[in-house]
Amino acid sequence: MTFTRFIDLSGPEIERFGEDTVAVLPVGAIEQHGPHLPVATDYYMAEAVAEGAARLAGESCDITLLPGLAYTKSDEHAWSPGTLWLSARTLLSVLDDLGRSLAAGPVRRLAFLNAHGGNSALLGVALRELRTRHGLRTFLLHASLPADQGGTSPAAEFGMGVHGGLKETAAMLHLHPDLVDMTQARRSVPEHLTSYEHIGFGKPVSFGWTSDDFATGDGLIGDPTGATPELGRKLVDASVSAAAAALRECARFLPDRPLTS
């Protein structure tokens, strides 16, 4: 059982992958994250969790880590300088090309490790496209499931810590503290949305939004002020552990039979 970096291998070494080898693709983003975080926040998260999980899962199954994808679907932040994004059509085409390329070799299992909520819907579409077009068994994992997609957000954020809030800031204080400016961190929670019964983050009716829709002015949606490196370490460690457990199942998953020991 092994962990490898795909780009460090030779062609003949890659040719020896088995049908249960899982290729893991970190999927991040380059986009504004408020005044206190770097634009590569989601990319750093995807890379860190994917590598940690791949190394851990590689103790019991075969995992190869692909180079991360930085430029993705971030048009909800397109208003801000620093956001570099692909259209939905372009991103789906890129994912299809990558899947086709992998399927030309021995890889038959591909797992996306996503750290940007704006990618989730398209990655879900890509799962089936890559399955039907190229025969790959495909999986979508999240570094941390966003609050607007069924994940949790601290009570102080009223379930609306979806961008640059407590969790992301804490994780970055742990991973790259030199890139975080806590003097610029401030609470920016659209509390008025709690007056809507049906529409909102994590409510029955979702809505299309851009990060400058909320009258905050800086694209932050959450409350990073209580973030600490210690909390960040706990969050990242938990994400790595959960993703590693999921990757172990990805290596053995078959939809027509139960999991066996």
pLDDT of residue 59: 96
Mean per-residue pLDDT over the chain, rounded: 95
Structure tokens at 170: 């804490």
Which pLDDT tens digit goes with each residue over 131-169? 999 999 999 999 987 777 777 778 789 888 999 999 999
State which amino acid sits at residue 57. Answer: A
Q: Name residues of the chain where pLDDT drops below 50.
A: none
Handedness of CA 174, 178, 183, 187 (dihedral sign): negative
Residue 261 pLDDT: 65
Q: Residues in the chain, how many?
A: 261
Q: What is the pLDDT of residue 214?
A: 86
